[in-house]
Every structure is written in C-alpha cells, then in structure tokens.
Amino acid sequence: MPATILVVDDDAAVVRPLARFLELEGFTPVTAANGLEALTYLRGGGDASVIVLDLRMPVMDGWAFRREQLRDPVLAQIPVVVLTGADQDRVSEMRAAATFQKPYQLADVTTALRQLCSAS
C-alpha cells in the first residue's frame, strides 16, 4: 500500500506538480490549502505517513499548524518535512524531520520522504 503524503500549501503552482510527482514516485498525495484544512483532515481520521508543510499560508500558517500538531499525541507522531522560501533562521523551531529551501529539487524531497516512510 502506497504511503500517504499530506501536502499542506496554499500555492497551486507548488502543490500540483509536487502532488503529480509524488504520484509518479508511488506515493498517495493528499492536499490541504492551509493548516486548518490539514488538521480537519487528520482529526477526521485522514491518514498521513509524512506531512509536507509550507510555512506561509492564509487561515492557519505552518507555525500554528505545527504547534497544534505537537499538542496532539497521535498527530505529533507524524514526521514533518518543511518546504520554505522564508524564515530559514527560525526553521529549527519547527522540529521538522527535514527542511528544504525553495526552490528545491523534487528528487531530494522524495528521497527524504522515502527514508521517513521506511523508518515509521
């Protein structure tokens, strides 16, 4: 069964190609346009082996999402990969499994996702 990757990003120009690439690499991508959508999906029983998270989004940004995720003992176990174009100096606060600066190489992100999926 393919691992489900939850992609949380409000930029369709990022989400569409990333989701398509993940599909081609054998993952099952699920997308959310902001942190609140992602939390609703996860708390509603949605599955995710890894969360790919943007930091700057409307409604609920990546910082707020990660705080909420870490407060929930079940959701806190899901590793997070941060994709960011900003806030590099504060990314360590996210306690992410991996961080990639935009523009990133899709192959590098995929390698990190495979490692995280096999570790869980």
Write the CATH number for 36.
Answer: 3.40.50.2300
The single-letter DSSP state of residue 58 is: S
Q: What average pLDDT score do residues 86-95 get?
A: 70
Q: CB within 8 A of 5, min separation 6: which ones?
A: 22, 27, 28, 29, 30, 48, 49, 50, 51, 52, 113
- Only one residue has tokens 């990333």, namely 18
pLDDT band at 94 (very low <50, low <70, confident <90, very high): confident
pLDDT band at 102 (very low <50, low <70, confident <90, very high): confident
pTM of this structure: 0.92
pLDDT value for 85: 73
- Domain with 49, as residue range(s), is 4-119
Query: Rounded to an integer, what distance in angstroms lies between the CA atom of residue 13 and that of residue 16?
Result: 6
Q: How many domains does the chain have?
A: 1
pLDDT digits (tens, 9 = 90+) for 47-78: 999 999 988 888 988 889 999 999 999 999 99
pLDDT value for 119: 73
Please tell me whether the peptide bond between 103 and the residue prior to it is cis, using omega within 30 degrees of 0. Answer: yes
What residues are paired with 6 via a beta bridge? 30, 51
Higher pLDDT, 85 or 48: 48
- Asked if 7 and 57 touch (Cβ cutoff 8 Å), the reply is no
Q: Report, in angstroms and rounded to the nearest whole number, the Rg of the chain calculated over CA atoms.
A: 13
